[in-house]
Amino acid sequence: MSALTIDKSGPTRKVKYGSMSRDRTWALRWSYFFLTLFAIVALVPPIYMLITSLKSSAEISAATNPWWVYHPTLSNYKELLTSNQYLRFFWNSAMVSVIVVAVTMLISVPAAFALSRMRFWGSATLATGVFLTYLIPDSLLFIPLFKMFALFGDYTGIQLINRWYVLLLLYPTLTVPFATWIMIGYFASIPKELDEAAIIDGASWFQTLTRIFIPVALPGLIAATIFAFTVSWAQFLYPLVFTTSTDQLVLPVGITTTLIKGDVFNWGQIMTGALLGAAPPLLIYAFLMDYYIAGLTAGATKG
């Protein structure tokens, strides 16, 4: 109200321009306010993890300022990085994630190409179906899936439960639908004359995919890859349910099950392990952020 009063009594009648720029100023102030708020909320946990990871167990349990390190030590890092168990989790996670990413892309890229371009009977319904699959949460699926794999083991004698490679079958159920959806959106943004030109130039469908669509849709492809990697790397529920032996565990489950012994929480190592575990996706995001955003927005507006 006060701003309005000032404006009325102002010497010039630039009310419109004044209010335009004032709107903008306020919009910016609110943006900064909320962005700062979100940044704080998002950054406090990793900062707390970092601080705690640099403390000894004694200092963690001492009644000092939890936001300050008085006697910094790398002992947590040393112990974890020399622990065969932790390295095993890391290795399992890496292997599962890399293979899942590869499988996901091998399935979803040709699927998206077929669904967006080849126009066969029911392709539109199928495309929607792919997306609907993604909407079913893993917390609903894990019980029937567990039952299925258990029955499969009973009938065939091939035991998949409590093997790290069972995750290679499980994760794609999460990654393939979303990756396909991103790629459908991206492929749809490629003008159809481009494939027609390729077809007239003599390219087969496969050549059109590999030599035109994949290079042109590279940002979308990278976005889908990052997504698949993040989902595989961070997945907690499936490995928690399907793997139990320590040598079969992946990082997120490994940390929580081996570093919490009964009611003893080894906080220093838990934080260190989580921080190290967060590093690979973080590095990938940092390098490929621009592609990721380009890929997601293309999918959002055109898909």
According to the binding rule CB under 8 A, does residue 191 interact with other proteins? Answer: yes
According to the binding rule CB under 8 A, does residue 200 interact with other proteins? Answer: yes
Q: How far is the CB of 294 from other proteins (least distance, A)?
A: 14
CB closer to other proteins out of 185 and 239? 185
Q: Is residue 52 a contact partner of residue 274, using CB atoms and an 8 Å limit?
A: no
CB closer to other proteins out of 193 and 263? 193
Q: How far is the CB of 180 from other proteins (least distance, A)?
A: 22
Binding window for other proteins (CB under 8 A); candidates: 34-42, 99-107, 198-206, 284-292: 198-206
Q: How far is the CB of 210 from other proteins (least distance, A)?
A: 12
User: Given the structure tokens 């979308």, which residue do they identify?
Assistant: 220
User: Given the structure tokens 């995750």, which residue do they identify?
Assistant: 167
Residue type for position 264: V
DSSP string over the chain: -HHHHHHHH-SS--HHHHHHHHHHHHHHHHHHHHHHHHHHHHHHHHHHHHHHHTS-HHHHHSSS-TT--SS---HHHHHHHH-HHHHHHHHHHHHHHHHHHHHHHHHHHHHHHIIIII--TTHHHHHHHHHHHHHS-HHHHHHHHHHHHHHHHHHH----TT-TTHHHHHTHHHHHHHHHHHHHHHHHTS-HHHHHHHHHTT--HHHIIIIIIHHHTHHHHHHHHHHHHHHHHH--HHHHHH--SGGG--HHHHHHHHSEETTEE-HHHHHHHHHHHHHHHHHHHHHHHHHHHHHHHHHHHH-
According to the binding rule CB under 8 A, does residue 197 interact with other proteins? Answer: yes
According to the binding rule CB under 8 A, does residue 271 interact with other proteins? Answer: no
Binding window for other proteins (CB under 8 A); candidates: 87-95, 105-113, 211-219, 273-281: 211-219
According to the binding rule CB under 8 A, does residue 215 interact with other proteins? Answer: yes
Q: How far is the CB of 287 from other proteins (least distance, A)?
A: 20
Contact residue for other proteins among 107, 199, 240, 278 (CB under 8 A): 199
End-to-end CA distance of the chain: 44
Q: How far is the CB of 194 from other proteins (least distance, A)?
A: 5
According to the binding rule CB under 8 A, does residue 193 interact with other proteins? Answer: yes
According to the binding rule CB under 8 A, does residue 203 interact with other proteins? Answer: yes
Q: How far is the CB of 284 from other proteins (least distance, A)?
A: 23
CB closer to other proteins out of 208 and 266? 208
Mask: binding to other proteins, 116-155, rule CB under 8 A, as x and -? ----------------------------------------
According to the binding rule CB under 8 A, does residue 212 interact with other proteins? Answer: yes
Residues lying near other proteins in the complex (CB under 8 A):
191, 193-194, 196-203, 207, 211-212, 215-216, 218
